[in-house]
Amino acid sequence: MPELRIQQPDDDLTLRDWQHAHNVVIPTHHLSLDEVRERARRHHLEVAYQGDVLVGCSTVRPPSDDTLTATVIPRVLAPHRGQGFGEELYSRGLDRARGLGAEVIETVVLSSNEDGLRFALKHGFAEIDRYVLPGETVPWIDLRHS
């Protein structure tokens, strides 16, 4: 079985792969390629492949100076869940967030993503907020690592 390869998206091909994984896992909040490029300037993005097959992506929103809270969001495409890819993306994101000075770790999950919510709860996160973004109908859940 090919090894897992995780990298920062650094060209249009890998940015499009990150975009694809994000948009499949979060179907209510599609991002354009320009929006992904903008996020890549503000956040630490990674894209994961098993061999040449896209399995997921992740985002680390760095801590702000006043809260020292970072957000770590691993996303794994449904056919690749339950194989440890989320664990690896989460672990890498956690290391990155702590390396950036985060003292508090949060994540956010679309409420319809039952696998993602189960993953977060299994890893010690607890719900702190639930809300619907303007123009959307599916609630988002903010969770904090306890």
Total-model pTM: 0.94
**Has residue 1 got a pLDDT over 80?**
no
Give the residue numbers spanning the domain of 70: 4-145
Measured CA to CA, the distance from residue 84 to residue 95 in angstroms comes to: 17
The confidence score (pLDDT) of residue 146 equals 83
Q: Which tens digits make up the pLDDT trace of 7-38? A: 999 999 999 999 999 999 999 989 999 999 99
Measured CA to CA, the distance from residue 73 to residue 76 in angstroms comes to: 10
Domain count, the chain: 1
Measured CA to CA, the distance from residue 142 to residue 129 in angstroms comes to: 5
Task: Identify the CATH number of the domain in which residue 111 sits.
Answer: 3.40.630.30
The confidence score (pLDDT) of residue 48 equals 98
Q: Which tens digits make up the pLDDT trace of 88-121? A: 999 999 999 999 999 999 999 999 999 999 999 9
Averaged pLDDT for residues 142-146 = 94
Q: Which tens digits make up the pLDDT trace of 53-78? A: 999 999 999 998 788 999 999 999 99
Asked if 9 contacts 47 with a C-beta cutoff of 8 angstroms, the reply is yes
Which residues, 6 or more positions from 120, have their beta carbon under 8 angstroms from its beta carbon? 107, 109, 143
The confidence score (pLDDT) of residue 65 equals 74
**Has residue 39 got a pLDDT over 80?**
yes
